[in-house]
Amino acid sequence: MHTCKVPPLPKLRLYRINTGSCNGCDVELAATEAITRFGLDRLGLSFTADPTQADLVLITGPLTVSSREKVLAEYAEVPDPKITVLIGVCPISGGAFRDSYAVVAPLDEFVPVDLNIPGCPPRPQAIVAGIAKAVQLWRGGEHPPVSPGPEEGSLTENLRGRMRYRAEACVGCRICQHVCAGGAIRFDEEEAGLGFTLWHNSCLFCGMCSHYCPTGALAPTREWDLAHRQAEKYRQVEKGVVPRIPCSACGVPMLPVVPELMKKGYRALSAETARLQTLCSECRQVRSLEGVKRCTT
Amino acid sequence: MSRTVITLGPRQLGLEEPMYFRVQTAGDRVAGLEVLAGQVHRGLEHLTLKRNFYQNITLLERLCSLCSNSHPSTFCTALEELAGMVVPPRAEYLRAVADEIKRIASHLFNCAVVAHIVGEHALFRRVMELRETVQQTKEAIYGNRMDLAANCIGGVRYDLDAGRVGYLKSQLEGLKAPLEELYRVFADDPALAAATVGVGVLTREQAQAFGVVGPVARAAGIDYDVREKSPYGAYDRLSFQVAVQAAGDVRARALVRLVEARQAVSLIEQCLDQLPEGPVALMSFPEIPAGEVIAKSEAPRGELIYYLRTDGTDLPVRLKWRVPSYPNWAALGEMLKGEPVSRIPLIVNSIDPCISCTDR
């Protein structure tokens, strides 16, 4: 008779709470649950409709003023110890709905959070990879996380994952900050130059910043597995500094003029445009006017 | 006969979103209904006034993620109308492609939910599997399975090269037979028919009185679809027949959605075949003058109306919506009257209510 030496691990139960979401994360959770190849089963997990039976709580949406009382009561029904997982940037930071009178996100101001799965919404593979990390937390790290399974039939060439910033292509125009609905982008005047920060936990992964960036300094990567422990929440950033260089004529510190911008500004690049590139805007005006004078006299 | 009042929440109703009902019962029948709205109120009207037009495109896509392309495309249409911009023809077609692919996914999700509620779990999984084809297609073309980020002021932010057109066509081809089969199941399966025929009826007269829209109206015999009545974008160059049913019951609503999913496949194919050459968007930062405008479209749940007022800055002065679920859930009281309490989840889901649109 075949005997199993290692007893199977007890099945963990997941309970879902929607705090007022746009239903994107919820619909993706429903797909994650229904489609077996995403591999929730392989992690030894099942969903329960009874909060008192749950081990892991999955929370979606920005906590709204009107749902707050119900949500916190529902959360309290899940017995301790429990692992709390936030899905999508809404419960993590408020996402697109920050600064509204009707929203009281982030959720970690109300309940202890263990794990964050950013995205808007995160794809099922990202949800499963995140939940695998949560299972690892629950089981004390003794069991390695199970991979979320193969990506059958999906093309990820265009995937909008974590944004990447290249300071060497940035001209500091700040259009990315202007069009960012999540308020994820910040510029700071630093000693070393112009500082850029993008917080992935507030990013809506919409790609508006890269769409409007005139020089391609911002672009989405295909990195989608962004789940992290709560302690890492504020370290999920993309940073860069554009160093200031002295103007070759007057020595005033200025942001370098990147080749991408020169190609947009001039029909053809020449020794003259290369010289203009090293000048601050005022010296460039003077130099250009000299050129005009030469032409008209 | 005992009369009581019970409160039902998302767990009892089988909804993805928090929505609560106060139901008056007479015996085991529904005698009256009050919708307790507001759980998903995120202050969207207030937020849109604090965000510029560009931020609002992304914010509005998150007003509701099941009709997430209808919101930004209708908003952009409103802005373009104010600015007097003529969107390039290629962009009009690409907008229609994005709208229709979202319609297929939205309608299939609702069919899956209806199957789940009537206890047809194998069918539920089958519909969800079929929907995965659409989800994968959206991710491959647009980069996300729910929020396509397809729109910008003056056009769209994506293009289809020959390779992507070929990919999209082959994905659509794979949907055709399963969608036909699914229609037959919802039309003919005896178990499904027993659960859905004559259930949650809204007559044509009631439908008109409540001003319901979308599949709920068309299932009650009302021949109204914005794409056909007042065509926008590329729809005046595309052909389709408005899906109408007469019975006004749960099955009729499901059948309208399945016909529309099949039509959406054909509409995308027509777009791909007619796709004109040219740019996909006009200039990046148009000046939006002061003014007011109304734009509308046929979202998966019905007629979606945008009202926008501007003052020449890049922040809206007023932005207001009439979303399709609003008139539709008002008519729920009629559909539920006299029905057994146990049928409430099915009937509520048969109107495919979008709470995040309505509570916003």
- CATH number of the domain at A204, please: 3.30.70.3270
| Chain B contacts in chain A segment 238-267 (CB below 8 A) | none
Q: Minimal Cα distance from A62: which residue of B?
A: B42
> How does DSSP classify residue A10?
P
A21 and A130: one domain? yes
Neighbours of A36 (CB within 10 A): 12
> Which pLDDT tens digits describe chain B residue by residue (360 residues)?
677 888 877 777 777 777 788 888 888 888 888 888 888 899 999 999 999 999 999 999 999 999 999 999 999 999 999 999 999 999 999 999 999 999 999 999 999 999 999 999 999 999 999 999 999 999 999 999 999 999 999 999 999 999 999 999 999 999 999 999 999 999 999 999 999 999 999 999 999 999 999 999 999 999 999 999 999 999 999 999 999 999 999 999 999 999 999 999 999 999 999 999 999 999 778 899 999 999 999 999 999 999 999 999 999 999 999 999 999 988 999 999 999 988 988 999 999 988 888 889
Nearest to B143 by CA among A132, A160, A224: A160
* Interface A:B, Cβ pairs < 8 A: 168
B46, B65, B124: residue with CB nearest A23: B65
Q: Are A278 and A247 in contact (CB under 8 A)?
A: yes
One-letter amino acid at A220 equals P
E-assigned strand segments in chain A: 12-18, 45-47, 56-60, 83-87, 115-117, 163-165, 185-190, 193-199, 218-220, 228-229, 237-243, 245-246, 253-254
With residue A182 as reference, give the H or E element that holds it.
none
Q: Could you tell me the maximum CA-CA distance found in chain A, to the nearest angstrom?
A: 104
Reduced to 3 states, what is the DSSP secondary structure of residue A109? helix
A51 and A128: one domain? yes
Domain range for residue A277? 245-293
Looking at residue B204, which CATH number applies to its domain? 1.10.645.10
Is residue B11, in this structure, part of any structural domain at all?
no
A23 and A81: one domain? yes
A58 and A134: one domain? yes
A170 and A236: one domain? yes
**Tokens (6 digits) for A187:** 């510029």
Which chain B positions have a beta carbon within 8 Å of A212's beta carbon?
54, 284
Q: Which of A27, A175, A215 to mutate to test the interface with B (most CBs of B within 10 A)?
A: A27
Shortest distance between the Cα of B1 and any Cα of chain A, in A, equals: 32
Which chain A positions have a beta carbon within 8 Å of B66's beta carbon?
23, 27
Neighbours of A242 (CB within 10 A): 22
Query: A149 — contact with chain B (CB < 8 Å)?
Result: no
Q: Are A38 and A74 in contact (CB under 8 A)?
A: no
CA-CA-CA-CA torsion sign (A58, A64, A69, A70): negative
Domain boundary among A106, A139, A172: A139
A202 and A286: one domain? no
Express each pLDDT in A180-217 by its tens digit.
999 999 999 998 899 999 999 999 999 999 999 999 99
Say how many domains are in chain A.
3
CA–CA distance, B253 with B237 (Å, rounded to integer): 27
Shortest distance between the Cα of A131 and any Cα of chain B, in A, equals: 19
A24, A28, A179: residue with CB nearest B54: A179
Domain boundary among A139, A172, A199: A139
Non-local (6+) Cβ contacts of B157 within 8 A are A207, A211, B149, B150, B151, B280, B281
Reduced to 3 states, what is the DSSP secondary structure of residue B285? coil
Is residue B12, in this structure, part of any structural domain at all?
no
Domain range for residue B205? 41-335
**Contact between A20 and B61 using a beta-carbon 8 Å cutoff:** no
Is residue A151, in this structure, part of any structural domain at all?
no
A177 and A123: one domain? no
Non-local (6+) Cβ contacts of A266 within 8 A are A273
Is residue B247, in this structure, part of any structural domain at all?
yes
A26, A182, A212: residue with CB nearest B17: A26
**Contact between B147 and A62 using a beta-carbon 8 Å cutoff:** no
A58 pairs with which residues across the strands?
A16, A85
pTM summary value = 0.91
Say how many domains are in chain B.
1
CA–CA distance, A23 with A27 (Å, rounded to integer): 6
**Contact between B146 and A158 using a beta-carbon 8 Å cutoff:** no
A17 and A99: one domain? yes
B46, B55, B147: residue with CB nearest A101: B46
Shortest distance between the Cα of B227 and any Cα of chain A, in A, equals: 25
A117 and A169: one domain? no
> How does DSSP classify residue A157?
T
